[in-house]
Structure 1
Amino acid sequence: MRALHDGHGRSVRYLRLSVTDRCNLRCLYCRSNARQRCIPHAQVLRYEEMARMVGIAAALGIGKVRLTGGEPFARKGCEAFLAMLRGRFPDMDLRVTTNGTLLEPHIPLLQRIGMSAVNLSLDSFDRATFARVTGRDMLPSVLSALDGLLAAGIRVKINVVAMRGVNDGQMDDFVHAARSMPLDLRFIEFMPMGSGTLWSPENFWSADDIREEAARRARLIPVEAGAEAESGPARMYRIEGGLGRLGFISPLTNHFCLTCNRLRLTSEGALRTCLFADKEYRLRGLLRHPRITDEALAGVIRRACADKPVGADLLRARREGAAVAARQMVGIGG
């Protein structure tokens, strides 16, 4: 099959696959105050259907797959699914994003299958703030999992959603973590996602302001753009004398849409070509139809990619203070 390109000439090489919309936390930025109903089990893709989609994606030139949620390890059988994917796609760059609360027992499996990297969603090293953000007092479990990942030699990226009035007073902790541990700690601007979003100008903390705050505590040495493909949308900085790095992701103030290379597949089989666009391509019915071939599904994906929008255009068009997409992050996949 021909490699994927969208209507703007961008090459699509990355699939974010949501294993489940269920999660044991209730983070401020992922769910709003609106009532959230989980997808009925019968409407969630079976693991075999997800594996089929990964195979189609691989044939289209996608070489990187990240499993997301919800919380991936909240779904029964996730460990076996990871092993299945590695067995079928040994050359795939396979990763997982997790809140870390259920992770520790699965670390031996991740090490055994050669997991490329694990992204930990960790918005505070302060126990009270962690509980405020997530709704649960589970920071010790996450820190134990972090130690286990590093001991196993698995690459770790920590994702911090930066929020004024919430974790903006904890830069000392963040810089200390990146200085003392061999990991990437990346700040992400709070995005106005989902109906009933808690985003406001008052709690928005821009990437430039975050970087200035970090630079007061450490000498930051820029990593040249393109020097490491792993950086993705983050602007990365080494810390002089430190083991790790800091990164700054700015989807609102300095977008990276023109280099976007990703698709998202929700746990019920809806393909989204842009995080900020609510247009979805329903693939579950096609996956379950006995006469629909992989080639036909690939054709649907190609047509969807042809209409892949530029997210920054959608941001500019939204009303002041309004959400940029109706679905909450927990339903889309982080």
Structure 2
Amino acid sequence: MAEPHEDYPAVLTDAHGRTVRYLRISVTDRCNLCCRYCRDDSVPFIPHENILRFEEIEKIIEIAVTLGVHKLRFTGGEPFARKGFLDFLIKIHRRFPQTALKLTSNGTLLAPALDTLKELGVSVNLSLDSLDRAKYASITGKDVLPTVLDNMHRMLELGIPLKINAVAMRGVNDNELPALAAMAMDWPVDVRFIEFMPMGDSTIWSNNLFWPAADILESARRHWRLEPVALRRKDGQGSEGHTAEERGPAKLWKLITPEGQVSKGSFGLITSVTQSFCQSCNRLRLTAEGNIRTCLFDDREYPIRDALRDKGEEEVRRIMIDAVSRKPVGAEILAASNGPVAHKRMSAIGG
């Protein structure tokens, strides 16, 4: 196949005119934490023989790149819970040097990989829902916050591009907004609060726990003046903000203190529930067991593991093009739902 490039012709366009350029890859459903909003520890992990082999993921990446994908995000579970993941990441970087590589992690297992992540130019989204040690342990099931913070500071020292994601939960971490958002004052990071999504049959989501973006924004304005972060042109000219692709679904603001100090990073909101960003969705998901999922809220999945093993690349290519052509508008699924919008929990879908 041809050498991948960011400008490889886009093939994956859906019926709504949206073009897929971004593939999120779950390399495992296993995780060393058990976050209450993500995973139900009563549900067994996928047997290892049923998940995609690394060489199969590499082949699917190759196919996706030739269809126009130029950004990859590796998720889990926790990606580093899978043995050999760092070696695999190095191989993917060497094989597809012009493809942007990103990683979502809980930060607990990163220490041995940090120098390599810096060398590879991998950016990291760090899941961090609380800065209170006891509360962190309550949310995640483990008292490992000091390890996460140590690794976070090391990433900042190394200059690894870093975003911090906190799932916003009323009555759980709403009183920590000042402390979490203040990290953007001191460091060049985006601290994003994600609306809690009603995902999975056994979800703990409820109206009492749901903390909508409008209320989060009001809370932030009690502490800072907020200045919207302007978009930067893709060629890097103009504003010092992010490009639309770098920003993703987040709405970002600079924090400004009463004394006029401006934050080094940004405060962000990802309004997954109250303000849809489906019209600009450019992503596909590859689950650990080898299914393509076109929409987070839609349980329809398109198996490609067996197709790859039995029929080869062209069949996988056909399935991916067909799946994207059927990609729904997630906001419509959410609006029509009287309960969880998907049967699977987040840990089974991939970050």
Shift of 1:296: 2.4
Where do 5+ consecutive residues of structure 1 fail to align?
none
- Are 2:10 and 2:69, in contact at CA under 8 Å, matched by a contact in 1? no
- The corresponding residue for 1:50 is 57
Measured against aligned partners, the alpha-carbon deviations of 1:238-262 in whole angstroms (never above 9, x if no partner) come to 1232111011011110010111100
Structure-2 residue corresponding to 1:4: 12
Displacement of 1:2 after TM fit?
5.1
Distance 1:68 1:156 in 2: 15
Report the counterpart of residue 251 of structure 1 in structure 2.
Answer: 272
Kindly indicate whether the alpha-carbon contact (under 8 Å) linking 1:238 and 1:244 is maintained by their aligned counterparts in 2: yes
> Does structure 1 conserve the Cα–Cα contact (< 8 Å) formed by 2:10 and 2:19?
no
2:276 and 2:243 mapped to 1: Cα distance?
19
Which consecutive unaligned segments of at least 5 residues does structure 2 have?
A: 1-8, 233-241, 257-261
- Match for residue 132 of structure 1 among 107, 128, 138: 138
Give the root-mean-square deviation of aligned CA atoms.
1.2
Aligned residue for 1:326? 343
The answer to whether the Cα contact below 8 Å between 1:175 and 1:217 also exists between their aligned partners in 2 is no
SS at match of 1:325: coil
Give the deviation of 1:295 after TM superposition: 2.6
The amino acid across from 1:15 in the alignment is L
Amino acid at match of 2:305: R
TM-score normalized with structure 2 length = 0.91
Deviation at 1:225, TM superposition (A): 5.3
Q: Does 2:105 align with 1:98?
A: yes
Q: Which AA in structure 1 matches 2:132?
A: D
User: What residue in structure 1 maps to residue 198 of structure 2?
Assistant: 192
Q: Which amino acid aligns with 2:340?
A: A
Give deviations 1:137-169, integer Å, cap 9, x for gaps: 000110011011111111000000000010001
Q: Distance in 2 between matches of 1:166 and 1:316?
A: 26
Distance in 2 between residues matched to 1:293 and 1:250, nearest whole Å: 39
**Match for 1:14: what amino acid?**
Y
Give the Cα separation in 1 of the matches to 2:35 and 2:10. 39
How far, CA to CA, are the matches of 1:190 and 1:208 in structure 2?
13
Mapped partners of 1:174, 1:8: distance in 2: 37
Matched-pair contact (CA < 8 Å) for 2:13–2:325:
yes
State the match for 2:5 in structure 1. none
- AA aligned to 1:206 is P
Say which SS state the counterpart of residue 239 (structure 1) adopts.
Answer: strand
Instruction: For residues 112-131 of structure 1, give each alpha carbon's deviation from its aligned partner in whole angstroms, at most 9, with x where no partner exists.
Output: 2121x100000011111111
CA distance in 2, matches of 1:159, 1:31: 17
Give the number of aligned pairs. Answer: 328
Which residue of the partner structure matches residue 251 of structure 2?
A: 235
**2:82 pairs with 65, 75, 80, which one?**
75
Note the C-alpha offset of 1:224: 2.9
How far, CA to CA, are the matches of 2:44 and 2:336 in structure 1?
28
Distance, in Å, in 2 between the alignment partners of 1:27 and 1:293 is 37
TM-score under structure 1 normalisation?
0.96
Partner SS, residue 185 of structure 1 = strand
1:102, CA displacement in angstroms? 0.5
Distance 2:287 2:181 in 1: 34
Contact 1:270–1:280 (CA under 8 A) maintained in structure 2? yes
Kindly provide the amino acid, as one letter, of the partner of residue 50 in structure 1.
I
Identity level (%): 50
Residue 270 of structure 1 aligns with an amino acid whose one-letter code is N
Q: Residue 289 of structure 2 corresponds to which residue in structure 1?
A: 268
| Aligned residue runs from structure 1 range 1-334, under 5 A | 3-32=11-40, 35-115=42-122, 117-224=123-230, 228-229=243-244, 230-240=246-256, 241-289=262-310, 292-319=311-338, 322-334=339-351
Q: Which moved more, 1:218-227 or 1:280-289?
A: 218-227
- Matched residue type, 1:23: C
Instruction: Supply the distance in 2 between the matched residues of 1:170 and 1:247 (Cα, whole angstroms).
Output: 15
Inter-partner Cα distance in structure 2 for 1:282 and 1:260: 21
